[in-house]
Chain A
Amino acid sequence: MKKPIILIFVSAIAALFVGTQISFANKIASPLLASPPLSEKTILAILMANLDIPLKNAAHCDGVGIDEHDRTIGDYLSGFWSFHTNKKSKNWLEINATKSAKNLYLAKLMIYQKNEGESWGWGVSFELDSNKKVNRNSFTCLGAG
């Protein structure tokens, strides 16, 4: 029961930051912000509003969770992000968005760690338009290793 509670809490915090309410029940995510720049914070907030997307509905996400019971994008990212609690490793996020077509952007979040000299990175990409409306069918799980 801990993971859903943590996800809801984090999403609630994100909602406060961006000044809007996030509903996991919404099947189509609403635009979160009116200002154009897709900052790292904005991308992260938009992603947090869509953590409920099932892995089975996303591309290349089969078996990506560190736990076999992981069911959602939120479960998957929480698993890898939890490794950032290791203070002895080098931990970082890479967040960016590139224009993929007219009024369309491809946003990416990668969770990285370098530990005992070995690096890994796992994350997601998703499409959104210039109004920051997310295509919930566009999620792809990224990463190697």
Chain B
Amino acid sequence: MTDCTIDIEQYLEKNINGICNNSYHKNTDNHCAHFVSHVLGFRFGFTCRGMTGDGTADDSANIRVHQVFTKCPKVGKWDDKPVSTTFCLAFITSASNVNLKTKQMRNHPRKHIGIFHGGKIYHYSNRKNKVVAQTPSIYAKHYSGDDITVYYGSMPKSDTDS
């Protein structure tokens, strides 16, 4: 399990090229899951190394939100998050993309992920091409739309598929 003592502030304002050593840096690609997975050591599923062929498996990171969502031991609506949960993942997408019972998220491009830590959500802004921190109430406005919903996910194991 990932340790909540991580120094996440060190990533603020950084572009993905200062975080990933596997050459997966294009600003036209989506790096939200990529950032989260590098910070938390998620090497399961499809990784940045799979996109570029560069780097080592030990330093690779998952790049797909829906794969991370499925790996969370527990998921639920943000409003139902236990008060005692102060370190977890924060997903946002249309409610129609999520099935909480089966812990599945459709691979719709309009989805996003961040790390809830110390009362803020740290995430990779693909608009600003850098890591930012926001309050949960601001993060909840990441997308417009009536059914846009924030979900929490307890931390998956930070390892590979095996």
Question: Chain A residues in contact with chain B, CB under 8 A?
Answer: 60, 63-68, 80, 83, 112-114, 116-122, 140-145
- CB of A142, distance to nearest CB on chain B (Å): 6
Q: A119 vs B48: C-alpha distance in the bound complex, in angstroms? A: 16
Is the pair A66, B29 in contact by a Cβ cutoff of 8 Å? no
- If A60-B46, A117-B127, A142-B51 touch, does A67 touch B30 (CB 8 Å cutoff)? no
A119-B29, A144-B51 provided; 18 other pairs, C-beta below 8 A?
A: A63-B104, A80-B109, A83-B109, A113-B109, A117-B126, A118-B126, A118-B127, A121-B28, A121-B29, A122-B107, A143-B63, A144-B24, A144-B30, A144-B31, A144-B64, A145-B32, A145-B65, A145-B109
Is the pair A112, B64 in contact by a Cβ cutoff of 8 Å? no
- Ordered by A's residue number, 22 sampled pairs between the chains whose C-beta atoms are within 8 Å are A63-B104, A63-B107, A64-B107, A65-B107, A66-B107, A80-B109, A116-B127, A118-B126, A119-B27, A119-B30, A120-B30, A120-B126, A121-B29, A143-B64, A144-B33, A144-B34, A145-B29, A145-B31, A145-B32, A145-B65, A145-B111, A145-B126
By a CB distance below 8 angstroms, the chain A residues around B107 are: 63-66, 122
Is B50 positioned at the interface, with any CB of A under 8 Å from its CB? yes
Of B32, B50, B65, B109, which is within 8 A of A60 by CB?
A: B50
